[in-house]
Amino acid sequence: MNIKPFGVEEWMNAWETGARYNIAETCVDSISMDELFQLTGENKEDFLKNFCSRRLTYGDIEGAPALKRGIAGLYHSIHEDEIVPTHGATGANHHVFYSLISPGDRVISIMPTYQQLYSIPESYGADVKLVHLKKENGYLPDLEEIRRLAIPGTKMICINNPNNPTGALMDKEYLEEIVKIAESVGAYVLCDEVYRHLTQEDIWSESIVDLYDKGISVSSMSKVFSLAGIRLGWIATHDQEVLKSLFSHRDYNLISCGMFDEAVASLALKHKDVLLERSRNIVRESLAVLDAWVQSEPHVSYVKPKAGTTALVYYDLPIDSYTFCEEMYKTTGAFVTPGDCFEQPHSMRIGYAYGTESLKDGLKAVSKYIRLKGEYNA
């Protein structure tokens, strides 16, 4: 299989360790196990005693019942038997394509988004068509363009809601328009929903699976629940043929998830409201900090995110984003992601939810670098 290098992950792997100000991180400020027990009020000793007495088998092959109950509680209509646990959302996205996409299949995706959503189906020989998100449309997909590309027999439409890297959010009405297009050609809609529920307003975040029987939701414990270290994600769908294919293909590449990962996730999801409140408070406070900085910094601009933990920020200096981000890292210690990782030149993705003080310090460092470059290019 030939596949393009994964731009954003290669950048993170190369530079994240040693960053002085990490404002590239996309998870809401990660928590420790001790913090998880403090937040939930669960008894740590009882949890560990119970787990340590268990034999370390493969566990529940199709997922621990408590885990699947917790995941189902994040949706309006999903049942426990309509969930496939995976190794993170990256494992979930890959598994969907691995299970459903064949050479020649028409797949419609968007850009910018997480690269898996177009590079993996392309590597399988799919006929991938991209819809480019535009600032002037608030980074929402052009419905007419999707409609034009959705020819009879289209296999899948891939979206990301909230969007990474822009923070754009499609509401129920917008998603329903995409569902109508998919229904007209019998296509699946795969929605990467790893930032779902991280809204700036107190609203219910719609999931594609609550709106469409052929909708496929992917998510994880990493971003919203601050538990990336347990590497646990899932796929949710009502489509029984899809579920059959997912479980069949799972025997070849996954078998089961880790018992400890599932136990920790089950505990966290039992107290999802507490963790969601914490995460929403962090993203709202942090976005206010970022927005104030953008308004005060004359060399940058953005479309203010509606949800999620990331923003795509443009700068007006005559320098490509890889050079910009690498030089800034070496000069100031500020670590952001080049926009060119998402094929968005002269921009950077800023992750704003990994600690307010770190964000403030990191943004000061970005301004310092911009001033230095501005003086150099004057």
- 175-188, pLDDT tens digit by residue? 999 999 999 999 99
- DSSP-H helix ranges across the chain: 7-15, 33-40, 44-52, 65-72, 88-100, 116-123, 143-149, 172-185, 240-253, 259-270, 272-296, 321-332, 356-377
Residue with tokens 């993705």: 349
**Cβ neighbour number for residue 371 with a 10 Å cutoff:** 12
Domain boundaries, the chain: 7-32+274-371, 55-272
Structure token digits, residue 334: 């500020």
Question: CATH top-level class for 7-32+274-371?
Answer: alpha beta
> Which pLDDT tens digits describe the chain residue by residue (378 residues)?
789 999 999 999 999 888 999 999 999 999 999 999 999 999 999 999 999 999 999 999 999 999 999 999 999 999 999 999 999 999 999 999 999 999 999 999 999 999 999 999 999 999 999 999 999 999 999 999 999 999 999 999 999 999 999 999 999 999 999 999 999 999 999 999 999 999 999 999 999 999 999 999 999 999 999 999 999 999 999 999 999 999 999 999 999 999 999 999 999 999 999 999 999 999 999 999 999 999 999 999 999 999 999 999 999 999 999 999 999 999 999 999 999 999 999 999 999 999 899 999 999 999 999 998 876 554
| pLDDT tens-digit readout, 136-189 | 999 999 999 999 999 999 999 999 999 999 999 999 999 999 999 999 999 999
CA-based nearest residue to 189, from 165, 217, 220: 217
pLDDT tens digits, 290-336: 999 999 999 999 999 999 999 999 999 999 999 999 999 999 999 99
pLDDT at position 328 is 97
According to CATH, the topology of domain 55-272 is: Aspartate Aminotransferase; domain 2 (3.40.640)
Element (H, E) at 157: strand 156-160
How many Cβ atoms from other residues are within 10 Å of residue 256's Cβ?
16
* pLDDT, position 375: 60
